[in-house]
A = this chain, B = another copy of it.
């Protein structure tokens, strides 16, 4: 893991960009005592520099967590193929037109999840070897990647998932194998995530301790207090 830039932000958070082989990432920390780590992944490979993710990451870092995000293969700062671009355009167009997106989603997001998960595990190895970062480890964000990670990665102790209306078939089937504490956050009128499918996924998780939070509005309308609720959830399980 090689740090390529570093800046101290006005909330006292240290923001460091890194590369780990081909993987570009960012690490947000504050203070010097060993901090529990949160892996923060944006749904469907949105860039790690996206402003809503950065705001959440900085808030958590300012409140005593180490937070890391990486760009998934073909996303953010990663090289992308013409095929990726085409898939992404097709998905956006179909969603906007209100057409069924299951098949595009399956063929595009399914492989993206398969590629992203091993990279998150590699990143986790590297992060836990840094001074000032301790366990236990939480995961926050992209539901499909989080399901797979929760199943294959015993170091993940608790997870907050967002949306979850569209999740590749493989992860829908893996949901019953997830047993860690979950906070499942959904927007009641999420234009890209059918409500009933999200509720069915919440129902399917094997975890004994799982909490659903739903708020009004569309995909990007999550109220800010859910950021604080998420940190209290991690506070119960990681601190």
Contacts and interface: CB of A to CB of B under 8 A. Distances in A.
Nearest to A233: B225
A227 to B, nearest CB: 13
A214 B216 contact: no
Contact of A213 (B202, B212, B216): B212
A10 to B, nearest CB: 25
Interface stretch (A64-72, A109-117, A169-177, A203-211): A203-211
A223 B229 CA distance: 15
Nearest to A189: B203
A215 interface: yes
Contacts of A121: none
A225 B215 contact: no
A12 to B, nearest CB: 24
A214 B215 contact: no
B210 A211 contact: no
A86 B106 CA distance: 57
A212 B214 contact: yes
Interface in A192-226: 199, 202-203, 207-216, 223, 225
